[in-house]
Amino acid sequence: MIVVGLGAMGSATAFQLAARGVDVVGLDRYAPPHVHGSTHGDTRVTRAACAEGAAYVPLAMRSHELWGEIERATGSDLFTACGVLMVGPGSGMGSMHGTDDWVGATIDLAGRFGIEHEVLDGAAARARYPMFAFDDAAHAYFEPGGGFVRPEAAVAAQLMLAERHGARLHLDTEVTALRSTDAGVEIDTADGTSFAAERVVLSAGAWLPSFLASPELRATFTVYRQVLHWFDVAPAWVDRVSVEQLPVYLWSFGAGATDFFYGFPALDGAEGGVKVATEQFSEATTADDVQRDVSVEEQQSMYERCIRGRMAAVDDHALRSATCLYTVTPDSGFVIDEHPELPGVLVVSPCSGHGFKHSAAIGEAIAERLVSGRSTIDLSPFELRR
Ligand SMILES: Cc1cc2nc3c(=O)[nH]c(=O)nc-3n(C[C@H](O)[C@H](O)[C@H](O)COP(=O)(O)OP(=O)(O)OC[C@H]3O[C@@H](n4cnc5c(N)ncnc54)[C@H](O)[C@@H]3O)c2cc1C
């Protein structure tokens, strides 16, 4: 089998297939982990109660187990369970990834799945984490078992395991064409090498649209530029932002999907700053045309629109910023399904801004499905036509 794209999804899939004894070839246009796609920037939020829908909860929970197994197998540091604090402006408000009242939906799912959590009002959340100016009407959910995963290390570890199990990885090898044949799928690459396999997993992230011919199909996936910022820690708070003191935080301060920011504790001492980000869904781009540079005006706008007056621990000076790509579907759900135009190709597009936390379990489920015809975790909610 061939895996095209060895980022979050492709590295997990290549590892899980190879671990089941499958003969795996992996192809990537760059050398993952890299900064050109959707899987960079030091940290990704993970939480078991996923307001995006009940179908996601088993994937997140299984991934939490798998990060531990991969850490033990490789000696990598992947998952830090520093807790996740999610705050909404009040009942019925605050939308994220297609879910209205996402804090309420999270609380509901945590109850249904028996996920350890606490529910706090704004005053209690503020008393516990005084660097945030939550108002009294806010409602908050705290999941102690959540936290963050290191995406670059996770990709590197899974590619290492894939190779350990015999996978052959061809990096800096751009796939230029996929063709279905009677025997399976043929692949052309930019350096003139060809490959063929019975089955191909297409996990090309934000480049997926270039492998879709029909305009309607391509319109299912919209690529949005997102920006991550690392701001200085305000001097009064340098001793209170470590992973031992500060959880991951997500705060909807208004009703709109972009009245929102999230962030992480300081990972490398306060000198490295704290990473904070918001989301945007108004300006679409493509993986090849995206503006990679981040202007000082964008950094200032992030601070003024989201941070000022809300998070006292963050100073107004950005140390650095980075761009990253969301590949978003109309309902913000994943797509894991047969390619409608290319028999033999499985499309794996779990992004919409919330895919990473599920990636280890998605790789496992895809490998199970390709090897035995069915996966332990149900992937049918991610069919293209729904
Ligand atoms: C700013 C930002 C913040 C995020 N935060 C979170 C979060 O906190 N929690 C969470 O769960 N998720 C989060 N996500 C989403 C998550 O990171 C993505 O869902 C996930 O990384 C997508 O992985 P992927 O494998 O689909 O894409 P990628 O990791 O980008 O992999 C695609 C790979 O395909 C390769 N490729 C593309 N075209 C070709 C070609 N023609 N030939 C060969 N190789 C090719 C690329 O080089 C790349 O390596 C965030 C995403 C972004 C951008």
Tens-digit pLDDT profile for residues 329-356: 999 999 999 999 999 999 999 989 999 9
Question: What is the rounded CA–CA span in Å between residue 179 and residue 5?
Answer: 16
Q: What is the DSSP letter of 21?
A: T
Q: How far is the centre of ligand 1, averaged over its atoms, from the C-alpha of 216 (Å)?
A: 22
User: Which amino acid does the sequence have at 233?
Assistant: V
State if residue 335 touches ligand 1 by the CB under 6 angstroms criterion: no
Is 375 within 8 Å of 369 (Cβ atoms)?
yes
Q: Which residues pair with 320 in a beta bridge?
A: 230
Identify the architecture of domain 2-46+151-210+331-382 in CATH. Answer: 3-Layer(bba) Sandwich (3.50)
Is the CB of 146 within 6 Å of ligand 1? no
Nearest to 67 by CA among 143, 6, 3, 157: 157
* Binned average pLDDT, 10 residues per bin, the chain of 386 residues: 98 99 98 98 98 96 98 98 93 69 92 97 96 94 98 98 98 98 98 98 98 96 98 97 97 86 93 96 96 98 97 97 98 97 98 96 98 97 94
CB atoms within 10 A of CB 235: 8
Place of tokens 């660097």: 131
Task: Write out the E strands in 5-101.
Answer: 25-27, 44-46, 79-80, 84-88
**CATH topology for the 84-144+222-328 domain:** D-Amino Acid Oxidase; Chain A, domain 2 (3.30.9)
* Ligand 1 atom closest to the CA of 210, numbered from 1: 41
145-161 tens-digit pLDDT: 999 999 999 999 999 99
**Among protein residues, the one whose CA lies closest to atom 13 of ligand 1:** 354
Q: Ligand 1 atom 33: the closest Cα is on which residue?
A: 5
The CB of 203 under 6 Å from ligand 1? The reply is: yes
Q: Answer whether 6 contacts ligand 1 (Cβ < 6 A).
A: yes
At 179 the pLDDT is 98
Would you state the structure tokens that stand for residue 124, as one six-digit string? 């209690």
Domain map of the chain by residue range?
A: 2-46+151-210+331-382, 84-144+222-328
Supply angle C-alpha 65, 70, 71, rounded to 5.
Answer: 95
Q: How does pLDDT run across 73-125, given as a tens digit for each residue?
A: 999 999 999 999 999 987 656 677 777 788 999 999 999 999 999 999 999 99
Q: Is 103 exposed, middle or buried (0-12, 13-18, 19+ CB in 10 A)?
A: buried
